[in-house]
């Protein structure tokens, strides 16, 4: 269930982020990607993936590389409690798929001795997909996405957010947060305008008040 909550928050955030940067890409989640024709085992269903150059409005049920011709530029996997499979088997399959960058996030990393919160794999020349970072901190940077991925909250409230800034210190707001902030700003602006009108009316009354003769 935690995996689903993380995906449901992060996928639209990534779509908004890429669109805002003027990048035409489709951000999908939990759909099969096949990379070898007539081999049903050559497939993956990334928790989240990015298809560069694909219209965000595209309807995707399954993606077949020999037909669709676009390899995901980015993939995001949330490790399950069966962590050994996700740590050691999954990266090799993404290497075979040809993805440029893979990020594995382990929300259970503190529950097993070899756990790390983040693993980042990138394609390095002829060496293929290589792990370039393993971190127990709360954030890592994605070169492909051009932003930070940052864990916030704990336990069942843990989520992954997009962050910006030199060290990933500024969280990119969700649609709900942005809407709430806009409403609060509008109310504050209205209150400030009413207060200013009150000040002007008071000043006008002062200026037009008849002067007492001495």
213 & 138 share domain: no
If one counts the domains in the chain, the total is: 2
206 & 101 share domain: no
- Render pLDDT for 39-56 as a digit per residue (tens, 0 to 9): 999 999 999 999 999 999
- Render pLDDT for 5-45 as a digit per residue (tens, 0 to 9): 999 999 999 999 999 999 999 999 999 999 999 999 999 99
What are the φ/ψ torsions at residue 61 (nearest 5 degrees)? -100, -45
75 & 59 share domain: yes
214 & 159 share domain: no
Q: Work out the pLDDT band at 101, boundaries 50, 70, 90.
A: very high
Is the torsion defined by CA of 22, 75, 118, 5 positive or negative?
A: positive
Report pTM: 0.83
152 & 196 share domain: no
Q: What percent of the chain has pLDDT over 70?
A: 89
79 & 68 share domain: yes
182 & 109 share domain: no
The 3-state DSSP class for residue 189 equals helix
Task: Give the residue numbers spanning the domain of 122.
Answer: 2-172
Spatial distance between the Cα atoms of 4 and 141, rounded to a whole number of angstroms = 22
108 & 145 share domain: yes
106 & 203 share domain: no
Q: Work out the pLDDT band at 208, boundaries 50, 70, 90.
A: confident
147 & 100 share domain: yes
């Amino acid at each position: 269930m935690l995996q689903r909550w993380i995906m449901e928050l992060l996928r639209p955030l990534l779509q908004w982020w890429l669109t805002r940067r003027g990048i035409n890409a489709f951000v999908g989640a939990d759909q099969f990607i096949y990379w070898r024709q007539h081999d049903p085992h050559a497939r993956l269903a990334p928790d989240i993936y990015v298809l560069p150059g694909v219209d965000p409005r595209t309807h995707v049920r399954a993606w077949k590389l020999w037909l669709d011709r676009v390899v995901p530029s980015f993939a995001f996997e949330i490790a399950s409690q069966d962590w050994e499979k996700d740590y050691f088997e999954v990266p090799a399959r993404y290497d075979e798929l040809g993805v440029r960058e893979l990020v594995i996030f382990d929300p259970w990393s503190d529950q097993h001795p070899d756990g790390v919160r983040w693993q980042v794999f990138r394609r390095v020349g002829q060496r293929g997909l290589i792990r370039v970072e393993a971190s127990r901190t709360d954030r890592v940077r994605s070169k492909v996405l051009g932003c930070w991925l940052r864990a916030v909250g704990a336990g069942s409230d843990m989520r992954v957010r997009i962050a910006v800034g030199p060290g990933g210190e500024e969280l990119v707001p969700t649609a709900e947060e942005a809407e709430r902030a806009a409403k609060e700003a509008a109310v504050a602006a209205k209150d400030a305008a009413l207060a200013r009108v009150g000040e002007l009316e008071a000043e006008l009354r002062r200026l037009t008040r008849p002067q007492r003769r001495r």
